Structure 1
Amino acid sequence: MFIQTETRDDGRTIGFFPGRAVLDQGRKRFADAEAASASPLAQRIFAVDGVESVTLDGDSIVVSRTSSADWVSMKPAVLGAIMQHFTSGDPVLVEAPEVSDAPEAAPADSLEDEADPEVRAKLIDLITTRIRPAVTQSGGEIEYKWVRDGILYLHLAGAGLQMKAGIENMLRHYLPEIQAVRDWRESLPKPGLGTDRGQAIARFLDERINPSVASHGGHIALVDVQDDRVFIRLEGGCHGCGMADVTLKQGVEVEIKRAFPDISAVLDVTDHASGNNPYYQA
């Protein structure tokens, strides 16, 4: 069995092409070994030390390593795991609840797609043929969700979040009826943002924090305020940056706590190492 490989731009991700179908349709991403219980193939790959995530596609298996791991020792082991799977006769997927980064239940009204069928078809075609190849090549994810009030909501992960501005510019060029592009999680209810304290923290970020962060190409977005916790998202140049945790803990969190003493924790909804979103999974 000959398996071709392709190293992605980030150096931490390799695509493995076994020369046969992996999934009949769709795409499955497993963020850890526990999530991979639905896939014997992914379980075998996670048995290799240093594997961070596994994504199964139509004809490929995309594997990302942790920052401390080394492909020199990992790559032969991953190749062996893939070969072992395809010679075992085991299925790629078994019957199990679908693995997703989405919350267990999103508000029903968030699922209504207001896009005109012709506009929807054009959007999906542009995303599939022009945008997704670049996003996946960089180790990211993108998926059409819905259109509400002229805003296109997408599932974005990894490099997809970093490329959001470029994606928006392209889609708005071809389809002027699209006013903005947002990650679909932006549509989820965030009651804390409507409170006086939530609005005060939002102003503080815009006036005190973001001007400094913007000088480095980054942006801090306020996601929600729950009790004594503030949830933010590091965007732009901050997303995936090796100094993201330092920026959060030694900079943003200190400033917010100083201005709002009742806040006990400032949490980033994106785990920059694995791409998980613990806030949205809660």
Structure 2
Amino acid sequence: MFIQTLPHENEDRMKFMPGRQVLASGSVLLDDAEEARVRSPLAKRLFDIPGIRAVELGEDYVTIIKQPDAEQKILWIQLKPMVLAAIMDHYMSGMPVLNGDTPKTSGSYSEDDQKIVDAIVELVSTRVQPQLAQDGGDVAFKSYDPSEGLVTLEMDSRGLSTPAFGTQIKIENTLKHHVPEVKRVRFERMIDEAAAETTDRPGLQTDEAERIQVLLETRINPAIAAHGGYISLIDVQGDTAYVEMAGGCQGCGMADATLKQGIEVEIKSAVPTIERVLDVTDHAGGTNPYYSGY
């Protein structure tokens, strides 16, 4: 999890931007420690840090107001690591930012289910997330549905040096191995990743794109995963969907046949408004680049 920090013209203030939603809308200033501990699990963690005078929560930021240097002589170089750790721990816990909000863990659980959630959160925060961070990505627990054994994780895969779909399979297998109650893992994009993509490619916000994404995640990618490949939707423009092949599909001699006889047929059938599916893969960069030399 990458948290951006922005200094303020007032030296007693600093803004922390966790790269995901803090509040759905508006802002809340919490300047009473006891009230803050009751109203906000996140603020409670922050007020446990010595030297915090107030906390402001916004839609995508947390502003910390520390005690003036003249009073306690607490420097940001001392405070900043503790604030970063508190914010990260909060998001890994799955607790809501404000009490009364819908918790990220999808509500209250029975005692047994809460133990499962705690095990999942600990596994994600202590093993999965640190390993993914080393590869340039990020992941956070979002919810658990006991009725289906379904875990939902938020994932930022933009900086990964390895294929995202393959990484997701590894994460799912890890959770299933260590927490037998987990039957399925669903991945959602983190807010900042989704916002970055849709700003550059508004076609990804369309109904057609959403239906194609569901098709890829539920039918196409699971089918080709056995061959080490996966397909990503890059953009939708008018009646054309642009896809990219990776893993075993990148550079494979059967890639064109897979696209025309399989993927394109499936997408056109599921989304009739799509008339063409174009492959934008750099096949020459694949493991078996069949375009090399042409």
Task: Give the TM-score category using the shorter length.
Answer: 0.3 to 0.5
Give the structure-1-normalised TM-score.
0.39
Give the structure-2-normalised TM-score.
0.38
